[in-house]
Structure 1
Amino acid sequence: MATDALARPSTRSNYNCIAQDNSCCSKDKHLYHYTTTTTTTTTTTAAVVKTTTQAAVKSSTTTTSTTSTIASTTAVVPVKTTTSASSGSGLPACFVTWSSGQAYAVNSQVALNNVNYQAKWYENAGASPATNADGGWTSLGACDPTQTPPSNPNGPPPVPSTLAQHRAYAASLSTDATLQYLKQAVRTNTNVNAIAPGAASNPDNVKRVERILTPAKWDFYFSQADPAYTYANFLKSVGWFAGFCDTYPGKDSDAICKRLLSTMFAHFAQETGLHSQLIPIPEWRQSLAYLRELSCTENNTISGCYYNNDCGNPAFNKVFPCGAGPNNGYKAYFGRGAHQLSYSFNYGPFSEVIFNGDPTVLLNAPEQVADTWLNLASAIFFFIYPQPPKPSMLGVMDGSWIPNAADIAAGRTNDFPSTIQIINGECAGGSLSNAASNRISYYQSFAADMGLDTSKESFKCSGMSPFDTSGSAAQTGMYWTGSYLTQGVCQLVTYQTNFNALMDGPNYDQYVKCVEFTFNVKLA
């Protein structure tokens, strides 16, 4: 959020747009079109196969338009069938029996009425090999049902159709070590009602914060804060996000926590600070003065406070249904809370994290982000979640994000200025902006007061390149989108969509939502 150093904040943090229906709706737009062409090739083997070429054409629009082409080609080749000698019939064993309720991926092998078949391409549930209405099944000949069904090592398993099968399928795609680490980093502890200052039952990460940040220190840092921002609510927010100020085996966890707090508080000071020269309190201690974006109220009629243009998109509104209100017919999603959470596509995911996967709670009542403990929890939410191609601020400052050669060459390292680039891109210019200079100064002040040595840290900001797809944070698939290779399933991608795999939980809820939304089905 760019703010005048001597004025109250009037704009919000630079949240990435989240794609819907393979499209994106704001700054950093991305629009993906997939077109499929097919040709049929007959071979001399028993299987007739279909070669599919999928060309994904990506148009990226910022202030200028550029077009690049990404081609993905899947060649379906004949699969060698497995035979098993019979003591009597001499026929190969029958494959697993075809099921009318099951969809089948390319190369799947089934049996029906003692005849083996192989799928040339994706076959919908109910497409019987016996009738072969679409020509998608190749007969491999008669088979012996008395023998043990052979495996099909060269072909994919059947496309999942039940809820349990889809969850198992999602789990099989979610084994990447980086993805698993990130899920652990954003894990939640929903049992926070008992958290209170000094309570013996407080979680370990809360106790760590209490050792570093006492109630008196909170009052010292935030003497100009709006009364809605309380120490108790901050501890509750820390407790909810168990990966914040976590224990780091073999490392100085308290020092890492101080670094995280200094970073977060520095951004608080820029986003919600008074920036006043007229009071005898340094600017780094003037933060949390505002709950809502300047000039915006809950009953406002100022169009600049609506932030709800995306609500009119039917596809988008199906995933994150905006609440009804007086602002163009919808609620207003202007900046609220310590990090000025803005836009419905940020309120919806935050609501999912807080309210057991339900995006509608905060979309219907966005004022909760200002008036309840969520005014601070929303800041930690923004802090710990990566936004591909950007890493999380948590990962930058605790060292879990590892920059690659492209990041280092672009000036993106495990130092505070990289978090400036994440939150508002203020390090991209050739000279140091006032806002970036403020943030750096505030960070140094908080760190010094906490006894944190920053002498070995880099504060080079100007000239840093924006995070892009060449960086290490863009190499891990952590969002779900409908597969363009296999009908009926979703796949992990490295760009943002409406379905965040980091929010999956043990039941892979985000994957299930992706399948149900993309293919207009209800899994059971």
Structure 2
Amino acid sequence: MASSVLLTLLFISSIAFGAEARAKPNKPISSLITKTLFDTFFLHKDDTACPAKDFYPYHSFIIASESFPAFGNTGCLATRKREIAAFLAQISHETTGGWPTAPDGPFAWGLCFKEEINPQSNYCDSTNTQWPCYPGKSYKGRGPIQLSWNYNYGPAGKALGFDGLKKPEIVANNSVIAFKTALWFWMTERKPKPSCHDVMVGKYVPTEADLSANRTAGYGLVTNIINGGLECGIPNDARVNDRIGFFERYTKLFKVDTGPNLDCATQTPF
């Protein structure tokens, strides 16, 4: 009897231990991308040649990521690494200071800019009454994702706790907020566009319109979400190739594959 009770207790304990192990959350992002690896990705971001010198420190990225617990924390280890690589690759293209013959190659020069240098307008959509422009303010590209337009600054500020319409310049003055706006854009669904996060972790479910437009899951679809209107549906577009170049370098450093559908040359923009 005693032995049977002991076996029962051991069996229950093993179930409880298994459940605890299954419920155990993934390790934090800092365990996947250490400061050393981050600095390897962005070899030249703090060079004097980069206007954003010292603006994008590792700790600001980590602090910002804590506000988005699903980022880099969804799926298997390879999926988590691939998503982080995809995010960092996209923001690297948006802020690149590289050129074809740059030291260490063009894909070692991400995060060189914190705001658009020569904006062609103040990026105010006056027809958008939900997020009206504030007099005298510019909604030019700022931060790692180069957040642009009043209809993005407004909801980003509301979600993150700052006044994006009256104080858009904070995105270029506070590195944690800058990273948070990029992660907000990455994690947020804006129909008919899915979130970049859902695409990279396998949660994207294409609609009939997506299928007819050949918007297949993969890194290329992320590019379509971010800037498809200007870059997608174009064979061998240099901008798309630049985004891919960063992604291929980062996934190699992460020791994971890139997954399928890297470009959006055959996709119709959203």
TM, length-normalised to structure 2: 0.80
Q: 1:427 aligns with which of 232, 236, 261?
A: 232
Alpha-carbon contact 1:284-1:446 (below 8 Å) kept? no
Q: Deviations 1:234-282 (Å, cap 9, x if unpaired)?
A: 011110112212344xxx1x22221111111221222110122343122
Q: Secondary structure at the match of 1:418?
A: helix
4+ aligned runs moved over 4 Å, structure 1: none
In 1: Cα distance, 2:262 partner to 2:144 partner: 24
Give the aligned partner of residue 244 of structure 2. 440
In 2: Cα distance, 1:277 partner to 1:399 partner: 33
Query: Aligned pair in 2 of structure 1 residues 458, 295: CA closer, same or farther (>3 Å)?
Result: closer
Alpha-carbon contact 1:269-1:283 (below 8 Å) kept? no
In 2: Cα distance, 1:337 partner to 1:428 partner: 27
Give the aligned partner of residue 451 of structure 1. 255
For residue 153 of structure 2, what is the amino acid of its counterpart?
A: Y
Give the aligned partner of residue 407 of structure 1. 210
Give the aligned partner of residue 243 of structure 1. 70
Q: Deviations 1:334-382 (Å, cap 9, x if unpaired)?
A: 1100011111111110011011xx7xx2222111111111111111111
Trace 1:361-440 onto structure 2 (pairs within 5 A): 361-372=163-174, 373-404=176-207, 406-425=209-228, 426-429=231-234, 431-440=235-244
For residue 106 of structure 2, what is the amino acid of its counterpart?
A: E
Alpha-carbon contact 2:160-2:180 (below 8 Å) kept? no
Cα deviation for residue 436 of structure 1 reads 1.0
Cα deviation for residue 462 of structure 1 reads 1.6
Cα deviation for residue 292 of structure 1 reads 0.7
In 2: Cα distance, 1:309 partner to 1:320 partner: 9
Q: 1:320 aligns with which of 114, 125, 131?
A: 131
As a proportion of its length, which structure holds more helix? 2
Query: Aligned pair in 2 of structure 1 residues 306, 407: CA closer, same or farther (>3 Å)?
Result: closer
In 1: Cα distance, 2:30 partner to 2:37 partner: 10
Alpha-carbon contact 1:271-1:340 (below 8 Å) kept? yes
> Aligned pair 1:341/2:152, yes or no?
no
Alignment identity in percent?
A: 29
Alpha-carbon contact 2:41-2:108 (below 8 Å) kept? yes
Alpha-carbon contact 1:321-1:363 (below 8 Å) kept? yes
Q: Which has the larger radius of gyration?
A: 1
In 1: Cα distance, 2:216 partner to 2:107 partner: 24
Q: Which gives a bigger RCO, structure 1 or 2 (Cα 8 Å, sep 6+)?
A: 2
> Aligned pair 1:282/2:128, yes or no?
no
Say how many residue pairs are matched: 236
Cα deviation for residue 295 of structure 1 reads 2.9
Cα deviation for residue 445 of structure 1 reads 1.4
Alpha-carbon contact 2:233-2:269 (below 8 Å) kept? yes
Trace 1:68-467 onto structure 2 (pairs within 5 A): 207-225=27-45, 226=52, 227-248=54-75, 252=76, 254-295=77-118, 304-310=120-126, 316=129, 319-323=130-134, 329-355=135-161, 361-372=163-174, 373-404=176-207, 406-425=209-228, 426-429=231-234, 431-454=235-258, 457-459=260-262, 461-467=264-270
For residue 36 of structure 2, what is the amino acid of its counterpart?
A: A
For residue 185 of structure 2, what is the amino acid of its counterpart?
A: F
Query: Aligned pair in 2 of structure 1 residues 419, 241: CA closer, same or farther (>3 Å)?
Result: same
In 2: Cα distance, 1:219 partner to 1:460 partner: 26
For residue 170 of structure 2, what is the amino acid of its counterpart?
A: Q
Cα deviation for residue 409 of structure 1 reads 4.4
In 2: Cα distance, 1:403 partner to 1:237 partner: 29
Alpha-carbon contact 1:229-1:288 (below 8 Å) kept? yes
Unpaired segments ≥5 residues, structure 2: 1-24, 46-51
Unpaired segments ≥5 residues, structure 1: 1-203, 297-303, 324-328, 468-524
Cα deviation for residue 410 of structure 1 reads 3.0
Alpha-carbon contact 1:273-1:287 (below 8 Å) kept? yes
For residue 31 of structure 2, what is the amino acid of its counterpart?
A: R
Cα deviation for residue 438 of structure 1 reads 1.5
For residue 243 of structure 1, what is the amino acid of its counterpart?
A: A
Cα deviation for residue 395 of structure 1 reads 0.9
Alpha-carbon contact 2:124-2:138 (below 8 Å) kept? yes
Query: Aligned pair in 2 of structure 1 residues 398, 347: CA closer, same or farther (>3 Å)?
Result: same
In 2: Cα distance, 1:438 partner to 1:256 partner: 22
TM, length-normalised to structure 1: 0.43
